[in-house]
Amino acid sequence: MKYLVLILILQACALEGSKDQTHSILYYTHKRIFTGETGKFHTALGVKGERIFFIGDKRDIPKGAKIKKLKGELLLPSFVDSHIHIIDLARRGKSKCLLSDNITSKKVLRIEIKTCLAKNSYLNTLVIDNWRPAKFPLHETHREFLDSLTTKKNIIMRSSDGFHFAANTPVLEVVLNKNIKKDELQRSFESRNNKLTGYFNDHGLQYLTTFYSELFPKPSTEDLYEIIGKLNSFGITSILEAYVDFSQVDLFKKLAKRSKNKIDINLAIHPYISKKNEIPSMLEKLVRLRSELKKLSGIDFNTIKLILDGGLEGNPYQKPPRLPSASVLKPYKPASINVEAGQEIISYKHTNQHSHSRGIPYWKQSTLNEFVKVLDEARFITHTHTIGDGSLRQIRKAIEFSKNQVKGHTIAHMQYSNIKDVERLGAMGTSAVFTPLWLNRDLAYDKKVIPFIKKVDSLNRIYSDKNLNEKFYPISDFRKNGGTVLIGSDSPFDYPTPDPFLNISSALKSSQGDKPAFDIHQIIKAITSKVPSLSGQKNRSLEVGATADFIVLNQDLFRLSEKNLFKEIEKTKVLKTFFHGEEVYSLVD
């Protein structure tokens, strides 16, 4: 008898446990749940804790289960921004002078800077952010332009992409007082008739340490948390912070100690190496830091940021023209643009200064090879900034030299390429992060790029070379050769907002050759896939056992794409964002 009683008690406990499990699962119903697999739509999603417990038809939900019906037109995996700068987003919020995005004349630029000077009259140094040098030419030097505004204060203009700078005479005098070697000065600062013009590239920042507190104001943990809230409102729950130096690591440690994480952050830490003999100590430092950060929740550090070159735009309006700094395989052409009778006329004139310029490679090939090799052996992933085809060739050689053991190295931008390198990198299983907004043709910008790469007889024929066009952002070639395509906003550089719907729309509108760069399934896969990591979940599809990271939208991206309503996609709003099973953002109740 006592055994029968015991059996009955055990059965009752099991039944009660089954009921508890049913009640611990929250089922969400929605008319269109896209799982992340092409063509798969469902109507119910069950969440238990941080994980997805059920995905399928709402008719299969057990009786008595907790059910919440979600509004909106589409539920899908949450977004990943695979290349973003949240530290710089936070800094931009502290900017004393943030120029408008739509400045198209020197007159408007002058007015905005004068307004900033008046508002910040108490400052000795004014940093002007969001300068867009490709939008219109300055026919005088940058130094002359800024000096005409004031020489009583230090003025530094920083471009929207962070690679171009300009300064007035008081700032340049600080640089000249440092007794920099002539060849190093020429590498960073532009001169004309043995006088600095005021323009300098990002390499020149190392000589402006006097102004670092103004150039790089330190954001607080609260500043970053505010940015994360903004990202949640865009449906983003995972990011790669694309540039972190060692001094900024403590900021993320403090962020991780907050009571509630709302996002997964993968850090790409930038170590500076100039000589091979510095590699062992740097590797030791990186391994030690990885071990330390492993203990933190929501922070993943296994990625090393490498910057191989600068920007691909020069200035053909200057005399002589300023050539681009990005590393390229063939010498730049000395393109000049003159305005004659209201028409822009392009011409080419070789000088000794321009005869062999292939830009500025930031690394020696042998040092890069050795560093990537030891990183690969230590199970680190590289995230490499490459703009020119020269820098792409460098990282391809370095990954091949390393034997590519981690199979997860990532290349950012890949703006201009040699197709053979693209094919080999794709075949090696690397990933590439693209910003689809960069695919939009911008004649003002392209006039400062294409004529330096290939001779054009008229600016009206700047896009006439199909083979050349296909070397820019080679998404299709990279994908078809086995590479993984990811999406990053690169915000706040070039585009101040990390709004993913702008990139989705741009991706669908853009073409490469005769075909679109993306179809709707390809872009959704790319923008919901995580940057490769040796820890954490890479697969972002909504499936049983996966982390419950998903969003609800007010529009159906698939149906808008089918109707070619790409402009409408830009107007899409996120209604709700869920991170690890918890609602972290809601536009509606």
- Quote the CA–CA distance of 429 and 437 in Å, as a whole number: 25
Give the separation between CA 429 and CA 423, rounded to whole angstroms.
10
Average pLDDT over residues 225-238: 96
Q: Are strands 236-244 and 79-84 parallel, antiparallel or unpaired?
A: parallel
The HSE-up count of residue 401 (CA atoms within 13 Å, CB side) is 17
Confidence tier at 475 by pLDDT (50, 70, 90) = very high
pLDDT classification of 407: cutoffs 50, 70, 90: confident
pLDDT band at residue 97 under the 50/70/90 scheme? very high
Q: Is the peptide bond before 320 cis (omega within 30 degrees of 0)?
A: yes
135 has pLDDT over 80: no
Residue 249 has pLDDT above 60, yes or no: yes
Q: What is the pLDDT of residues 254-295, one digit of tens each?
A: 999 876 789 999 999 999 898 999 999 999 999 999 999 998
Per the structure block, which two tokens stand in for 346? 């392009």
d(CA 354, CA 343): 25
Q: What separation, in Å, do the N-terminal and C-terminal C-alpha atoms of the chain show?
A: 55
Q: Which of 213-227, 245-259, 498-512, 526-540 has the lowest mean pLDDT?
A: 526-540
Per-residue pLDDT at 540: 66
What average pLDDT does this structure show over 529-557?
A: 81
Task: Measure the CA–CA gap between 117 and 123, rounded to whole angstroms.
Answer: 8
> What pLDDT does 512 receive?
60
Q: How confident is the model at residue 516 (pLDDT cuts 50, 70, 90)?
A: confident
Task: Render 385-422 in DSSP notation, one character per residue.
Answer: EE-SHHHHHHHHHHHHHHT--SS--EEEE--B--HHHH
pLDDT score of 427? 95
Q: How far is CA 531 from CA 317, 365, 391, in A?
A: 40, 25, 21
**For residues 344-361, b (16+ Cβ closer than 10 Å) or e, as one string?**
eebebeeeeebeebbbbb
pLDDT of residue 517: 84
Its pTM stands at 0.90
Per the document, the length of the chain is 589
Angle between helix 389-402 and 419-427 (nearest 10)? 30
Closest to 87 measured CA to CA, from 166, 167, 165, 162: 162
* Domains of the chain listed by start with CATH number: 2-78+547-561+571-586 (2.30.40.10), 81-85+220-310+363-438+464-527 (3.20.20.140), 95-215 (3.10.310.70)
Amino acid of residue 229: G
Least confidently predicted of 19-23, 146-150, 299-303, 552-556: 19-23
Beta bridge partners of 300: 266
